[in-house]
């Protein structure tokens, strides 16, 4: 297992040549073939996470493929959000929280002793459950926030171009191009969430984590987010946590099902292609969950 992990790290490192900022990550040679051959965006091995003395997830092993939407589903309290937050080391920003195990992203072991969490978060974008644009920043500044917070040196023209490109990627440009100077908080909820997606994309992450990104939105806004997720997955690996099984089946190609045992510790029950998980689950607990017998 450990050697496999080293290979994962190695391969990921090889794949992560610094590309032109907006170059598509898709590899034409492997397109359309089975999932694993697209390469691994995030490898997780033996991951456990704790809040103080309480263990939230235990021994998670799985790999998220590149150019793929992967869904993490499971009932409340199964640790799916915790797993997601471990991937970019946001978990430990909760006071008292820590994690052990290995997470390979972009050729780096996120939990190695010398790894700077800031470096990991730089490679990973994150979209939260509740839209959280910076209220004191304009629409424009929200998108520019990532590059500016990272200290990227850019001319005004380059920044204009970056902001427009990422607002287009988030399918928001046409709605906000005349109000770039307005506060991000003045947009509708769905627009705010797409603004947050544009903000996360602006630093060109290899992986985009989404923590129930549509659960605070109405059905139309949700539909637009889902459409966007499918669209974006051609360029960036997307890992989405969702309560909504229909959503998981609509947007994702891979699905991980998690469940908390009696001890309250969340574990990975089953991981595979979404159509397989939803039609022929291997584990009876997965079947019970997706057929609505609990959760």
Sites of contact with another protein (CB under 8 A): 88, 90, 93, 95-96, 118-119, 121-126, 128, 130, 132, 134-138, 141, 145-146, 148-150, 181-183, 196, 199-200, 203
Nearer to another protein, 128 or 257 (CB): 128
Report how many helices (DSSP H) and strands (DSSP E) the chain contains, helices first: 11, 10
Q: Are strands 97-105 and 108-109 parallel, antiparallel or unpaired?
A: antiparallel
**Cα–Cα nearest to 88, from 46, 64, 48, 121:** 121
**Residue 155 CB, nearest distance to another protein (Å)?**
20
> Closest approach of Cβ 13 to another protein, in Å?
19
| Sign of the dihedral defined by the CA atoms of residues 80, 133, 122, 107, in that order | positive
Alpha helices in the chain (DSSP H): 2-15, 80-87, 117-123, 139-150, 156-169, 173-176, 189-201, 219-232, 245-251, 274-279, 284-290
Q: Smallest distance, Å, CB 144 to another protein?
A: 11
Using CA atoms, how far residue 111 sits from 119, 165, 196, 247, in Å, is 11, 33, 26, 31
**Nearer CB in complex with another protein: 58/163:** 163
CA torsion 268→270→271→273, rounded to 10°? -160
Q: How far is the CB of 146 from another protein (least distance, A)?
A: 4
Nearer Cβ to another protein (112/136): 136
* d(C-alpha 232, C-alpha 224), whole Å: 12
Smaller CB distance to another protein: residue 32 or 95?
95
Q: How many CB atoms lie within 10 A of CB 181?
A: 9
CA 6 to chain centre: 23
Q: How far is the CB of 203 from another protein (least distance, A)?
A: 6
Nearer residue to another protein within complex by CB, 196 or 228: 196
Q: Provide the pairing of β-strand 97-105 with 40-51.
A: antiparallel
**CB nearer to another protein: pick between 21 and 36:** 21
**Closest distance to another protein from the beta carbon of 86 (Å):** 13
């Amino acid at each position: 297992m450990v050697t496999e992990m080293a290979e994962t790290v190695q391969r990921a490192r090889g794949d992560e040549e610094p590309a032109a900022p907006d170059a598509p990550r898709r590899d034409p040679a492997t397109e359309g073939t089975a999932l694993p051959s697209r390469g691994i965006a995030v490898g997780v091995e033996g991951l456990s996470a704790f809040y103080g003395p309480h263990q939230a997830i235990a021994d998670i092993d799985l790999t998220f493929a590149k150019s793929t939407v992967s869904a993490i589903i499971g009932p409340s309290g199964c640790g799916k959000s915790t797993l997601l937050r471990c991937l970019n080391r946001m978990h430990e920003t909760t006071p008292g929280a820590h994690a052990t195990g290995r997470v390979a992203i972009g050729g780096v072991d996120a939990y190695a002793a010398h790894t700077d969490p800031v470096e990991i978060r730089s490679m990973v974008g994150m979209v939260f459950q509740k839209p959280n644009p910076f209220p004191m920043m304009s629409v424009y500044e929200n998108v520019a926030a990532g590059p500016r917070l990272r200290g990227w040196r850019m001319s005004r023209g380059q920044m204009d171009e970056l902001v427009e490109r990422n607002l287009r990627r988030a399918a928001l440009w046409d709605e906000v191009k005349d109000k770039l100077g307005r506060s991000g908080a003045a947009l509708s909820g769905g627009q705010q969430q797409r603004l947050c997606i544009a903000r996360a994309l602006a630093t060109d992450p290899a992986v985009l984590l989404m923590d129930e990104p549509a659960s605070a939105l109405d059905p139309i806004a949700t539909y637009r987010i889902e459409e966007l997720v499918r669209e974006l997955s051609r360029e960036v690996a997307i890992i989405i946590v969702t309560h909504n099984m229909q959503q998981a089946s609509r947007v994702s190609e891979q699905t991980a099902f998690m469940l908390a045992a009696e001890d309250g510790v969340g574990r990975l029950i089953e991981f595979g292609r979404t159509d397989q998980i939803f039609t022929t689950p291997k584990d009876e607990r997965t079947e019970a969950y997706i057929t609505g017998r609990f959760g």
